[in-house]
Amino acid sequence: MKLVTRAEWGAQPPKQPWTYVAGTQGVKVHYEGDPVPADLVSHHEWCAGRMRGIQAAHMADTSQGWIDIAYTAVACPHGYVFEGRGLHHETGANGNQPLNLAHYAVCGMVGNSGLTQPSDDMLNGLRDAIEWLQQQGGAGPEIKGHRDGYPTDCPGGPLYAWVQRGAPRPGGGGGSRGGAAAPPWPGEYLRLQSPLLNDDNVRTWQQRMAERGWPISVDGWYGAESQSICEQFQQDCTAHGWPLTVDGIVGEQTWNAAWQRPVS
Ligand SMILES: [Zn+2]
Ligand SMILES: [Zn+2]
């Protein structure tokens, strides 16, 4: 696990001592809920500052009365796990004290706009944090979302879908780590058109599909072969609980699924 300790990210000390917990039933997954800049994916040097900002906002929130950042740990898009309240300390994030005593709280640095899709590295970081809490923090096997048992959208659609699948490591099987962080969708629809589309966005998507095992030429041309592979991928996703429109066009959902959906 790529742990970043409180000292390393420059945390303020808690206003009061943390409440000790011997263990919990498990872990709940959260997201930031606010806008997160989409280009955070290419700026890990921003992540420690983001942590300091989240902590400052939480400690200034008089309606909550938080003594510290509310989360037990936070995973950034680059797969690092930032220590929050840490092991054996009651979280403040789950909604009320019974919920806070029942589960730890790990948060992914995605929001409700901008960066909304967790990268493979982030999912691995969240998984690392969960296993750290299970192995050293007395966390039980439950992995749930903030919205389970509390009225909130948190942790957002993509992370909640991941929780419902059992919070697997990306790439499937054997606990192997997934590939690089998903690049942001380029905003261009990759589709069969005349003249043929030929650019680096097509090449990036083809490269990823080839890594997933699809028999596709990585040549940057979106031709009939790419369209056919795209449709087959969309059908395969839809048949395995990851619904996509089957249209042979790589839009944002299909682009993201190419990186985020576990390889079947
Ligand atoms: Zn939450
Ligand atoms: Zn980062």
pLDDT of residue 181: 57
CA of 76 to the centre of ligand 2 (A): 4
CA of 125 to the centre of ligand 2 (A): 10
CA of 179 to the centre of ligand 2 (A): 15
- The residue to which tokens 């991941």 are assigned: 162
pLDDT of residue 264: 63
pLDDT of residue 178: 40
Say which CATH architecture domain 197-260 belongs to.
Answer: Orthogonal Bundle (1.10)
Phi, psi of 91 (to 5 degrees): -75, 165
CA of 156 to the centre of ligand 2 (A): 20
Cβ atoms 147, 153 nearer than 8 A? yes
Which ligand is closest in space to the CA of residue 93?
Answer: 1
CA of 31 to the centre of ligand 1 (A): 6
- The residue to which tokens 């097509």 are assigned: 202
Give residue 187's region: left, alpha or beta (phi > 0; psi -120 to 50): left
CA of 30 to the centre of ligand 2 (A): 17
CA of 30 to the centre of ligand 1 (A): 4
Q: pLDDT tens string for the chain (264 positions)?
A: 999 999 999 999 999 999 999 999 999 999 999 999 999 999 999 999 999 999 999 999 999 999 999 999 999 999 999 999 999 999 999 999 999 999 999 999 999 999 999 999 999 999 999 999 999 999 998 999 999 999 999 999 999 999 988 898 887 533 333 444 568 889 999 999 999 999 999 999 998 888 878 889 989 999 999 999 999 999 998 988 888 999 999 999 999 889 888 776
Write down the CATH number for the domain with range 2-164: 3.40.80.10
Longest dimension (CA), the chain: 66
Which ligand is closest in space to the CA of residue 70?
Answer: 1
List, in order, residues 6 or more apart from 187 with CB less than 8 Å away.
none
pLDDT of residue 4: 95
pLDDT of residue 171: 72
Domain boundaries, the chain: 2-164, 197-260
CA of 236 to the centre of ligand 2 (A): 32
